[in-house]
Every structure is written in structure tokens, then in C-alpha cells.
Amino acid sequence: MLRRTLTAGAVIGAVIGALPAEARHDRRPPREQRDEPGERELPAVPVPRLTDRDGRVLTLRGWNVEDKANRGDKALSAITERHFRDLRAQGFGFARLLVFWDDLEPRPGRYSTAYLRKIDRVLDWAARSDVKVLVDAHQDVFGPAFGHRGVPEWATRTDGLPFTPHPDDWFAEYFEPAVQRAFTHLYEDPDLRRAQAGAWRVLAGHLAHHPAVIGYDLINEPMGELREGEDLPAAARRIERDQLTPMYNRLADAVRSVDRDAWLFVEPTPVVGEGVPTGLGRIDDPKVVYAPHFYNTAMEAGADYDPGAGWIEAYERAVVEYPRKYGVPVVVGEWGPLNNALPNMGRFYRDAMASLGRYTSGWAGYVWCYGGGYCALDGTGAFRTHKELTAEPYAAGVAGTVASASYDPRAGVYRLVYRAARHGSRLSELSLPPGSWRATASGATVVRTAAGRAWVLAAPGREVTVTVRRG
């Protein structure tokens, strides 16, 4: 993610300068002519929705779960069953679990069965709390050769190019010559291509039948090598078109050799966060999810949210181009600012939640942990400032075709309209945050409620309106 970059000004300048004029300037009406968050409803974006095996329309909402600090014998030890119990207790049913190739295959061709068992344990905890898990092959600044996690050191080739660490600005390390060349070798060298595909065959083959697993994120925030005279947006589109697209197709083939059912999540470069449409091409698989991240460089560098700047609108316009073109759903894999206590951050979360609700099949915030920094929770397990605004009612699974779904945070009212399926499952599920909620249905029956859940049963083909009210 684009976190706390001291080079933010340079990155923003490169990106914004290359954007079309309509993405650079906010053309919305003055604020006094605009509705406040929760009161406006923009036109629906025709983006396909994620579904399960029964054909139910899914919405995934949750958080990233990680342990970047520990490796080897202590890998994943910072993750506990409490993470998943607390996720579910707050109304979330989704987790993006970070795993690392350097732990899976510490030596070429030698896969760690101990690491696979550790992943199994974490997934078992998720299953007990009924949390669906996206398994994310994570990398930061390529991997251990540069002081981070991800691609093993034995698979890192730099051609002797220099690398200078940036302890206070780690994202700047992506622009070091050695790191950029390492990505080129990963994408282009036949033996490294085979190694990456082999690691995915082992991982997906081991996890294929685990009930918690919904899919695989094939690589986190991929980057690449800029050419002389090439600006960042142009480089990103070329890397996505010429290197990421064939890589994802290779890895899709590897996964499908051992797992036919899981969804495959593919990411553009992080540059998409500044409203740059991706150059990613078609991934030849029937179950692909587009999984961009949702970060603003200025906010990551410490700036407050500017509601009038039009960043969220520009991001949304850019992000929906790929799923519209290729007919795939969208799940945002990471989002959320570092300093969420700044004056406009309450407005940011309301605007962001409204936007994400318009075009995605869900999201995973960054990050479900207990403490400071990006953690969603403090040491006591309570939401940190404004993070509670991510906990809304939503339809986790709809047995039918969704016409609309919206939540008004000020009124505390969620409304879902759908046409019940004529075949298959008839039961839809709502996920509710803590508190007192009352669910009613027109054209259907609320058959059961429990802490954080409600289930609605509808006759085939019926038009259904479900209303959930707080208090």
C-alpha cells in the first residue's frame, strides 16, 4: 500500500500530471448544492456481483489479518482465534489473510509443511467463526532481499544494481533499481515463472477443500521497472498489460490444476489509487475478481481528507472500467488511512462507504489488529476513532437479483430490494453490527434473527424489500 511516503509529492505530481483533465478537476456542483453522505444515491454502476456455489449474490466485508513480523517457526503466531471472533462479533464475515512465499518455500523446491499447518490452524479459527477467507500471496518491496517479506531471496535477481534502504519511506524503495529489476526477472525468467506457479500449485492444492477459503489473491500490489523517460502512469499501464496479464494467466492455470472452485483475485499496480485506469488485460478464467486497493497518496503522507477534491469520484470512475469491460466483480483488497482521527476523517469514511457500496462486492480494510498505526482496534478491542463507521448492516448473501441496497448512517436505516431467485436457495442472510436492530420484510418473511444476523425467506420470483432499523 502507499503508506507514509515522503516521496508522496513526486508520486502525486507524476500521476496527476498524466491524468485526463476530467480526472484532475472536480466538476461536481458546489457543496451547498450537494446532498450529504447517506442522503444521496448516485446511479448504479453495472458491475457484475460475486456469487457463491448456490448462486446467491455475496457481499464480503471485513479486514486484513496479518503477521509480518514473525517468520519460520514463529510464522503467523501474532494471529489468534480472537481476531476472527471479534471480526464476527462486529458484523464482519470476511478476512484477507496475508501469507508469504518466503515462508512457504524457504529453499528452492522445499516447501514447508509446518507453514502449511500454521495456515490451516488460522483457517480453522476463521471457519469456526463463519468468516470467509481470501488467501493473499503478499509482498512488500519484493521480499527479504530488501528487508521485507514476499518473494524468497533465492528467487531475487538484481543484476548487481544498487539498492539503498529508505527506513522512513519504505514505499520509495520500490523505485530502487535493484527492486525494479527483481520484478522484471520474476515476470520474465522462465525458471522463476515456473517456481512461482509451483508455489501456487502447492498452496492451492493444500487449501482447495478448506471450508473457509473463498479465493486466492495471486500477488499483492505488484510493481515493476520504469523505462527511461517513462512517467509512472504510463509505466503502470505497460507493466499491467505486458507483464501482469500473462503472469496472472500462468498462475490461474497453476491454481486450476488443483482447485477448480475458488475465486482468483487479481490486482493492478497501486497507481490505480490515484484514479488511473488499469492496463490489465483479460484473465482467461471464469471466476476472476478485480481486486484494486483504495489509498490516496496525500492522505497516506499525513494529509486530511479533502471532500471537495474529487478523489473518491475519480477513483471510482477509473476502477469500474476494468470490470465493465471484462465482466468481473470487484472486491477492494485494502483501504483505510493511517491517521483516521483528523477532522475530516468521519466524512471520509461516510463518503468511502457510500462509494464502495455502489460498485464493489465488498472490501477488506487495513488492518484488523489491536494497538496503534493502522490497527482498527485499540488494545481493549474497541474501535479506534471513526473506524466504527465501517460497521454497517449489509446483505452477506442474497438468494436472488439485487435491485438496490443502501444504508443511511444518520437515520440508521438499511434497505435491500431484490427479486427472489426462481431456482436454488431461497434464504438470504443479513449481517448486522452490534446494537439493537429490527428487520422487517415485504414480500418475504424474516424467519430468524440472532446476534449480528438475520435470515429472510422468500418465495421464488417474489419482489422483496427488506428494511433494517437501528434501535
CATH number for the domain that contains residue 321 = 3.20.20.80
Query: Which CA distances in Å does 165 have to 141, 146, 171, 176?
Result: 10, 8, 10, 9
458 contacts: CB under 8 Å, gap ≥ 6:
399, 400, 420, 426, 428, 441, 443, 444, 445, 464
Q: By CB neighbour count within 10 A (0-12 exposed, 13-18 middle, 19+ buried), where does 228 fall?
A: exposed
Q: Where are the alpha helices (DSSP H) in 29-165?
A: 81-89, 101-104, 113-128
Kindly state whether residues 281 and 429 are assigned to the same domain: no
Kindly state whether residues 385 and 399 are assigned to the same domain: no
- The per-residue pLDDT for 6 is 37
- Between CA 464 and CA 430 the distance in angstroms is 14
CATH number at residue 414: 2.60.40.1180
Kindly state whether residues 91 and 175 are assigned to the same domain: yes
- Between CA 265 and CA 239 the distance in angstroms is 18
- The per-residue pLDDT for 416 is 98
Cell of 102: 518466503
Q: Following DSSP, what letter does each residue of 340-392 receive, concatenated? A: TTSTTHHHHHHHHHHHHHHH-SEEEES---BSSTT-SB-TTSPBPTTGGGG--
Pick the last residue of a domain from 368, 391, 414.
Answer: 391
No. of H helices and E strands in the chain?
A: 13, 16
Kindly state whether residues 203 and 341 are assigned to the same domain: yes
345-367 pLDDT, tens per residue? Answer: 999 999 999 999 999 999 999 99
Q: Which domain holds residue 421?
A: 393-470
- The per-residue pLDDT for 46 is 82
**Would 29 be classed as within a structural domain?**
no
Kindly state whether residues 376 and 273 are assigned to the same domain: yes
Kindly state whether residues 319 and 423 are assigned to the same domain: no
Tell me which residue has cell 449474490.
Answer: 57
Comparing CA positions, the residue from 154, 148, 184, 191 lying closest to residue 166 is 148
**Would 39 be classed as within a structural domain?**
no
CA dihedral defined by 338, 343, 348, 353, rounded to 10 degrees?
A: 90
**Would 114 be classed as within a structural domain?**
yes
Query: Which CA distances in Å does 444 have to 427, 430, 461?
Result: 10, 14, 11
Kindly state whether residues 385 and 413 are assigned to the same domain: no
396-435 pLDDT, tens per residue? Answer: 999 999 999 999 999 999 999 999 999 999 999 999 999 9
pTM exceeding 0.75: yes
**Would 1 be classed as within a structural domain?**
no
- Between CA 238 and CA 217 the distance in angstroms is 21
Kindly state whether residues 117 and 246 are assigned to the same domain: yes
- The per-residue pLDDT for 9 is 42
Kindly state whether residues 223 and 190 are assigned to the same domain: yes
Q: Following DSSP, what letter does each residue of 229-247 receive, concatenated? A: T--HHHHHHHHIIIIIHHH
**Would 158 be classed as within a structural domain?**
yes
**Would 27 be classed as within a structural domain?**
no
Kindly state whether residues 239 and 281 are assigned to the same domain: yes
Pick the last residue of a domain from 391, 411, 437.
Answer: 391
Q: Estimate the share of the chain in helix, then strand, then coil, as percent rounded to the nearest 5.
A: 35, 20, 45
Within the chain, which residues score under 50 in pLDDT? 2-45
- Between CA 329 and CA 456 the distance in angstroms is 24
Kindly state whether residues 291 and 206 are assigned to the same domain: yes
Comparing CA positions, the residue from 244, 328, 319 lying closest to residue 285 is 328
Q: Are 37 and 354 in contact (CB under 8 A)?
A: yes
Number of folded domains that form the chain? 2
**Would 47 be classed as within a structural domain?**
no
**Would 354 be classed as within a structural domain?**
yes
Q: What is residue 410's three-state secondary structure?
A: coil
- Between CA 309 and CA 298 the distance in angstroms is 11
224 contacts: CB under 8 Å, gap ≥ 6:
180, 183, 184, 187, 235, 236, 239, 243, 244, 269
- Between CA 4 and CA 295 the distance in angstroms is 11
266 contacts: CB under 8 Å, gap ≥ 6:
218, 244, 248, 280, 283, 288, 289, 290, 291
- Between CA 46 and CA 48 the distance in angstroms is 7
- Between CA 374 and CA 370 the distance in angstroms is 9
- The per-residue pLDDT for 365 is 98
- Between CA 284 and CA 145 the distance in angstroms is 32
- Between CA 128 and CA 202 the distance in angstroms is 24
Kindly state whether residues 347 and 384 are assigned to the same domain: yes
Pick the last residue of a domain from 371, 391, 411.
Answer: 391
